[in-house]
Amino acid sequence: MATYVLIPGACHGAWCFDDLAAALRTRGHRVLAYTLTGVAERAHLAHAGVNLDTHITDVVSAVTADTDDRNLVLVGHSYGGMVITGVADRMADRVDALVYLDALVPRDGESCWQLVNDEEREWYLGVDDTGYGVPPMPFFDPRATAHPLASFLQRINLDGDVNRFRRRDFVYALQWPGDSPLRPSYERVRDDPNWAVHELDGAHNLMRDNPDDLLRILLAAAAH
């Protein structure tokens, strides 16, 4: 049995993983899915100081409180790739595998802003009246809320490389309407023999568009 830690992307809460979490639990695994500070049902905690470090600390603190398991499989969707990278760095002795679900793969000193394309940066800059909330895109889940701008801008601080973990998977969505902002991350790992790279039919929300193949990949990531 593995323990999966599921981290959503920008503007979304843990509820975006409900069906996936249920499928993993049906197969005997433990699932911990977290909503980040200032987002979705935790939107009331938003303020200008909520940044990437806040979100990494969210997950480290929650996992530490919820389990002492040492075979964690961290799964990050989209922006969640930034978070799981930081979490893995801080909890390296407890992480077994990482799955980047159409997600950002940062190196030390890089920010989300640096890793995406110009179209995505344009979205980040369209903040709401608070001056620090990036509104959800029109096609997002109706439960989505604004996302803290500072989390997109802050550079990540890492002590080690993700290649130290037993397994790393990257899952790339093939049906973005234009150029995918995750393409640079995909191209970073595509030809790296240390990574298992998957290309799936479906738009960015692969939990909805291709749940069967995604479940298969997650189960394989935990297998020894």
Can you give the pTM of this predicted structure? 0.97
- Active-site amino acid positions: 78
Which two three-digit tokens encode residue 207? 């939990």
Which pLDDT belongs to residue 112? 98
Alpha-carbon Rg for the chain, nearest whole angstrom, is 16
Show the DSSP H helices in the chain as ranges: 18-26, 52-66, 80-90, 112-115, 118-125, 149-153, 183-189, 206-209, 211-222
b/e map 126-143, b = 16+ CB within 10 Å = ebeeeebbbbbeeebbee
pLDDT score recorded for residue 59: 98
Where the chain has pLDDT below 70, the residues are none
Q: Return the pLDDT at 56.
A: 98
CB 87 within 8 A of CB 160: no
What does CATH list as the number for 3-222?
A: 3.40.50.1820
**10 Å Cβ neighbour count for 25?**
12
Cross-strand pairs, 5: 32, 74
Chain segment 141-175, per-residue pLDDT in tens = 999 999 999 999 999 999 999 999 999 999 999 99
Which of 103, 100, 105, 92 lies closest to 156 in space, CA to CA?
105
